[in-house]
Structure formats: C-alpha cells, structure tokens
Chain A
Amino acid sequence: DTAVSQTPKYLVTQMGNDKSIKCEQNLGHDTMYWYKQDSKKFLKIMFSYNNKELIINETVPNRFSPKSPDKAHLNLHINSLELGDSAVYFCASSQELAGIEFFGPGTRLTVL
C-alpha cells in the first residue's frame, strides 16, 4: 500500500513551460508539505498545508503555486520554469503535532 505517492516520477521540460506535480497521501494525516532537494542534496521546505489551509510559505517565488483540494492531496504548479528549478521535489505528510514526516518517492524535474 502506497502511503505518499507523487506523479510524475520524472519531468523533463523546456525553460518557460508550465508544469504540475501531484501528490496524494492515504495515511489520514492533516498536514502536507512540499520540499525541494537540490543537486547538493540540501532539502528545503517550500510549503506546508494543514487541513487544506496554507500554513508555511518559505519565500518561494510566486511562480510556484500549491493547491490542496482536500487534506489528502497537495499539488504543485510551476509557471515559467527556469533552469534553477531543476531539482527533486518531495511531497511529505504528517500529523501536525507529531515529529514524523512520511515522504513520497520524489519527482525529478529537469529544465532544459
């Protein structure tokens, strides 16, 4: 049984395009996150949502727009892709008060 799933696993696209990544969790958690991991493996939080409400926005450019249609889903739309957006994007979920986050398998985005 998949706990946190993301699609697609790989995304290769040209600069200037718009793309979306989808995330779903079946753990019943109330909080979901998007993280970006760069080529040096530095893992940085981008957004967190609690019960569909945006809680944390870590000064991410507004080309990145998360959307949470319900507490089991958190999607990420990226407009006008830039070379620097190339990274692995991880979705994660947790219960808000717990210290354990469960990560999805990641989406490797390559912008050419």
Chain B
Amino acid sequence: GQSLEQPSEVTAVEGAIVQINCTYQTSGFYGLSWYQQHDGGAPTFLSYNALDGLEETGRFSSFLSRSDSYGYLLLQELQMKDSASYFCAVRSYTGGFKTIFGAGTRLFVKA
C-alpha cells in the first residue's frame, strides 16, 4: 500500500527556521511534492523533488532522500502569513500517475 507520515502540528516563532519531515512508503515512486493550504483556501504548490538533494526556492527549501524514503520542507525567516497546513505528497505511477497526500502538518507561527 501507500502511506505518508508527517507531524500533525508544529509551532515556531516569527523569524525562526522550522523543518517539517515526511516519510513515505509507496510503489512506483516518481517524486515528492509539498503543498501549502491556508484555512478556507486551496492547496498551492511549493516544491517538487524527483532526485535526491536539496531544492531551494526563496525562503522555502525541500529535501529528498530516495534511499531513506524521506524528505523535509524547510521554512526560513518565518512570517505570520506562513501559518497554514503543509502537505507532503508522493507522486507515483501504477497504471497512471497519481498523487497521494499526507495528512498535513499544521504550522502555527507566533509573534
């Protein structure tokens, strides 16, 4: 089967750095994505890792280790607007491409 695990909640202060980990089990693995969702909004794409290593996009970075079935999202210089849910998602191919989402990590940023 397919499964993803990520922490349910993380709290950090403005200006800090936070790391959200994700471990996964899947067949037909293609890549690991991260999405952000604010309350009442739609998921929005943050990053995608198909290969091992670190991808950096502004204040956000994402890391993947395929051999460890592990990835993380790193958020730097936290701002209040970063308070949201963050989903890791595995893209896999089993007869067709599909994306399986984790349960999400609720990030609270405090002043």
B-binding residues in A (CB < 8 A): 31, 33, 40-45, 48, 50, 55-56, 58, 90, 96-97, 99-106
> Chain B at the A interface: mostly helix, strand, loop or mixed?
strand
Across the interface, name the chain A residue whose C-beta is closest to B48: A99
Asked if A55 and B45 sit within 8 Å, CB to CB, the answer is no
Q: Taking the complex as formed, is B71 at the interface, i.e. its CB lies under 8 A from any CB of chain A? A: no
Asked if A100 and B101 sit within 8 Å, CB to CB, the answer is no
Across the interface, name the chain A residue whose C-beta is closest to B94: A56
Please give the distance in Å from A36's CB to the nearest CB on chain B.
Answer: 11
Please give the distance in Å from A79's CB to the nearest CB on chain B.
Answer: 24
Asked if A100 and B43 sit within 8 Å, CB to CB, the answer is no
Which residue from A41, A45, A102, A105 sits with its C-beta under 8 Å from B98? Answer: A45
Chain A residues with CB under 8 A of B104: 41-43
Interface size on B, residues (CB 8 A): 23
Contacts known (A43-B101, A105-B42); A56 close to B96, Cβ less than 8 A: yes
Across the interface, name the chain A residue whose C-beta is closest to B37: A41
Across the interface, name the chain A residue whose C-beta is closest to B50: A99
Contacts known (A41-B85, A99-B91); A106 close to B42, Cβ less than 8 A: yes
Which residue from A40, A43, A99, A106 sits with its C-beta under 8 Å from B31? Answer: A99
Which residue from A40, A99, A102 sits with its C-beta under 8 Å from B30? Answer: A99
Q: How far is the CA of A5 from the CA of B57 in the complex (A)?
A: 26
Asked if B100 and A45 sit within 8 Å, CB to CB, the answer is yes
Please give the distance in Å from A62's CB to the nearest CB on chain B.
Answer: 19
